[in-house]
């Protein structure tokens, strides 16, 4: 296999579902499904790959929480915290990252829809990343990621990433 064939294959590989999967785009906002990022180490990869992030995080708390992600906090414009870990995550983010406790992915989506209807994005870009144990209300990361994908593609003006 030649170097050119390998490069072409890498460039055309769309990636795997639920692993920094680019789901849709609305203007300069990219929605990324990282539901496989079920711990801080895994979430760090997504957070290190983007800036100006709207981050959905939560689920059941794990040992160490999100303190190891502090170096990425400046990249997060706002965090939407859901699940049992929401209060613990809020305490870690307090004074460092704007956040709101949304309780569930559906509530977070409703809040996001309301904001989409009230104002236009300011054009600064951004990424919405669903990551880090996003609610144990789903049996596994695939079901959770599929639900995130459905919610995103139902948002007005979102164009699927192909």
> Domain ranges in the chain?
20-156
- Name the band, by pLDDT with cuts 50, 70 and 90, for residue 88: very high
Q: Is 6 a residue whose pLDDT tops 80?
A: yes
| b/e sequence 91-122, b meaning 16+ C-beta within 10 Å | ebbeeebebebbbebeebbeebeeebeeeeee
pTM for the structure as a whole: 0.76
* 20-156: CATH number: 3.90.190.20
Closest CA to 66 of 86, 84, 92: 92
When pLDDT is cut at 50, 70 and 90, the band that residue 75 belongs to is very high
Between the alpha carbon of residue 106 and those of residues 45, 128, 147, the distances in Å are: 25, 15, 9
Confidence of residue 128 (pLDDT cuts 50, 70, 90): low
Q: Is the pLDDT of residue 68 over 90?
A: yes
Query: Which among 127, 132, 134, 125 has a CA at the least distance from the CA of 44?
Result: 132
Mean pLDDT on 98-108: 77
């Amino acid at each position: 296999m030649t170097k050119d064939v390998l490069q072409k294959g890498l460039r055309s590989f769309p990636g795997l579902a639920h692993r920094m999967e680019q789901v849709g785009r609305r203007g300069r906002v990219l929605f990324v499904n990282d539901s496989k990022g079920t711990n801080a180490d895994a979430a760090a990869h997504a957070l290190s790959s983007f800036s100006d992030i709207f981050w959905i995080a939560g689920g059941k708390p794990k040992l160490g929480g999100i303190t190891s992600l502090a170096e990425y906090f400046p990249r997060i414009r706002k965090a939407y915290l859901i699940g049992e870990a929401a209060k613990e995550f809020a305490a870690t983010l307090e004074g460092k990252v704007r956040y709101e406790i949304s309780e569930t992915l559906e509530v977070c989506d409703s809040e996001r829809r309301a904001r989409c209807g009230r104002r236009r994005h300011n054009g600064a870009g951004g990424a919405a990343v669903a990551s880090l144990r996003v609610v144990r209300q789903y049996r596994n990361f695939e079901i959770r990621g599929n639900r995130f994908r459905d919610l995103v593609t139902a948002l007005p003006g979102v164009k699927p990433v192909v």
